[in-house]
Structure 1
Amino acid sequence: MRETLVVVGLAVLAMGLRSSRRAMPRKLGALGFLVAGFALFYFLTDCWWCGFFGIIPWFLLPWIELLTRIRRMRLPMDNSLRHRTPPDPAFFPHASEAESAMEEAGFDHVDDCGWEWSGMQQYFKLHWNPEERAESAICLCEQEEVAFAFITVTSRDAEGRIWRTTNYPFSPTLKCSPEVKWNHVPCERNCFHQILKDHQDFLTKMKVDRESLQIPDPEGMEAMIEAEMKSQIRHNLEAGVIRPSGERHFEYSVRGLFFLWGQFIKDMIRLC
């Protein structure tokens, strides 16, 4: 009974830590699940090295989804943004606060648009600021009963490079194009003013000359997002992460499934 209570206690403690809003407790929670698995197999076999077999299943869990839902996914090669009415603010965390902060920072609203990816709805509230030479977006991803929001700030230079800062909470599901330079900040950082400052610091760190940045074209923002997605799809086709599937669609290859597995493992350990 003592051993059972120890395993249950470790699992409950790990669940509690994973529900924290701070990154460090969440990481400790991930470690707690591994320790619980180790303890379970150790108590069952009374052999310390057998305890490591209790850790392995946690790293294999993503394959359940990879070999079922994701392996059957067929995604469009060409996807177009369309004007859409934003969903209920109750499902759009921090959207109103972020939009107010964008207006305070001099960013003007451009459009509300979105697209669909195999059942996942993505909505964008696009903004721009000619003085900052930057675009910003509040993004909502919604799939079935799961929804999350994030913010991006983007600058583009004359050489075609894209500099982007975001609090997107997960690892990317496709390899990034070489011309896109990402700056990920913690997902709990929801203050737009702080994210904008992080973006400015990122440009300074990367020694990007402000004068080389292009002033955004508000009328062409949607077309540039679509062109960027097409470039990313081409890059992943060349890398073998995805492969054509039927007319104007693609699916994940075996290499792509292993790539996604690695991304899932990162998220399981990191979670922001």
Structure 2
Amino acid sequence: MRETLIVVGLTVLAIALRSGRGNTMRKLGALTMLGASFCLLYFITRSIWGGAVGVALWFFLPWIELLTRIRQMRLPLNNRLDHREVPNPSFFPNATEAAAAMEEAGFDHVSDCGWEWAGMQQFFQLFWHPEERAVAAVCLCEQSDVAFAFISITSHDADGKIWRTTNFPFAPTLRCPPGVSWNHVPCERSCFHQILADHQKYLGRMRVPADRLRMPDPEEIEDSIEREMRRQVDHNLAVGIIRLTEDGHFKYSTRGLFFLWGQFVKDMIRLC
């Protein structure tokens, strides 16, 4: 009975800590849940190795989705953006404020567009700034009952290299091709002015002077996004993360499933 109460007590404590708003409390709650899992298997097997298995099982949970939904996914080889209406702001409370902040910073609205990836709807509000020589986007993602928004700021240098700063909350699901560099800032940082300042510092840190940046063409921004996605797909085909299907789509290879598992584990550790 004492061992049962220990496991139950740790589980209740973990749930209580996970319900807190502070990042430290939530991470402590995740560690407490791992401790409860260790104790449960340890008390059953009377072995430290058994307890270690209880902890490790959490990190293998993503394989349930990997071997079911993701393994069956078929993604379009050539995806095209189409013009769309702005989604209901109530689903994306930070998106309206981000778009307003972009206009305050001198960015001009270019277009509203989107596409679909394996059941996920992605909507973009695109802006550009000639003096900053940058393209900014508010991206709204919606899949089933899950919805979130993030911001990205992109610059191209004279050599064709892409420099991007974003608060995208997850690890990328495909490898970035050569010549594309991402500067990830904390997902809690939703203020566009802060992200713009981070992007400017990032360019300075990478020694990319302003006069080396290419002037964006607002008429070519959507085509640039499509070309970049196709370039990323081609790179991942070359390295074996994905493979072509017979119907002109692509799917994750066995190597790609292990790559995704590693990305899921990163997110579990970082976002817990």
Give the TM-score category using the shorter length: over 0.9
What is the alpha-carbon distance in structure 2 between the residues aligned to residue 21 and residue 98 of structure 1?
A: 23
What is the alpha-carbon distance in structure 2 between the residues aligned to residue 35 and residue 154 of structure 1?
A: 42
Structure 2 residue aligned with 1:172: 172
What is the alpha-carbon distance in structure 1 between the residues aligned to residue 43 and residue 130 of structure 2?
A: 63
What is the alpha-carbon distance in structure 1 between the residues aligned to residue 101 and residue 90 of structure 2?
A: 18
- State the Cα deviation string for residues 9-38 of structure 1 (Å, max 9, x = none): 333333344445544433333322221211
The runs of 4+ residues in structure 1 deviating greater than 6 Å are: none
Q: How many residues align?
A: 272
Say whether residues 1:151 and 2:134 are aligned partners.
Answer: no
Letter in 2 for 1:119: G
Structure 2 residue aligned with 1:196: 196
Question: Kindly tell me: are residues 90 and 151 of structure 1, through their superposed partners in 2, closer, same or farther at Cα, counting changes over 3 Å?
Answer: same
Kindly report which structure 2 residues correspond to 1:226-241, keeping only aligned pairs within 5 A, or say none: 226-241=226-241
Question: Kindly tell me: are residues 15 and 149 of structure 1, through their superposed partners in 2, closer, same or farther at Cα, counting changes over 3 Å?
Answer: farther
Letter in 1 for 2:123: Y
Question: Kindly tell me: are residues 248 and 49 of structure 1, through their superposed partners in 2, closer, same or farther at Cα, counting changes over 3 Å?
Answer: closer
What is the alpha-carbon distance in structure 2 between the residues aligned to residue 42 and residue 194 of structure 1?
A: 47
Say whether residues 1:102 and 2:92 are aligned partners.
Answer: no
What is the alpha-carbon distance in structure 2 between the residues aligned to residue 250 and residue 95 of structure 1?
A: 31
Question: Kindly tell me: are residues 209 and 89 of structure 1, through their superposed partners in 2, closer, same or farther at Cα, counting changes over 3 Å?
Answer: same
Question: Kindly tell me: are residues 271 and 47 of structure 1, through their superposed partners in 2, closer, same or farther at Cα, counting changes over 3 Å?
Answer: same
Indicate conservation of the 8 Å contact 1:163/1:181, yes or no. Answer: yes
Question: Kindly tell me: are residues 106 and 143 of structure 1, through their superposed partners in 2, closer, same or farther at Cα, counting changes over 3 Å?
Answer: same
SS in 2 for 1:68: helix
Structure 2 residue aligned with 1:117: 117
What is the alpha-carbon distance in structure 1 between the residues aligned to residue 128 and residue 19 of structure 2?
A: 35
Question: Kindly tell me: are residues 268 and 131 of structure 1, through their superposed partners in 2, closer, same or farther at Cα, counting changes over 3 Å?
Answer: same
Say whether residues 1:5 and 2:5 are aligned partners.
Answer: yes
Structure 2 residue aligned with 1:72: 72
Structure 2 residue aligned with 1:137: 137
Structure 2 residue aligned with 1:182: 182
SS in 2 for 1:171: coil
What is the alpha-carbon distance in structure 2 between the residues aligned to residue 31 and residue 23 of structure 1?
A: 13
- State the Cα deviation string for residues 136-195 of structure 1 (Å, max 9, x = none): 000011011111110001111010110000000000010011111000011111100111
User: Any gaps of 5 or more consecutive residues in structure 1?
Assistant: none
Indicate the structure whose relative CO is greater, using CA pairs within 8 Å and at least 6 residues apart.
1
User: Any gaps of 5 or more consecutive residues in structure 2?
Assistant: none
Letter in 2 for 1:158: A
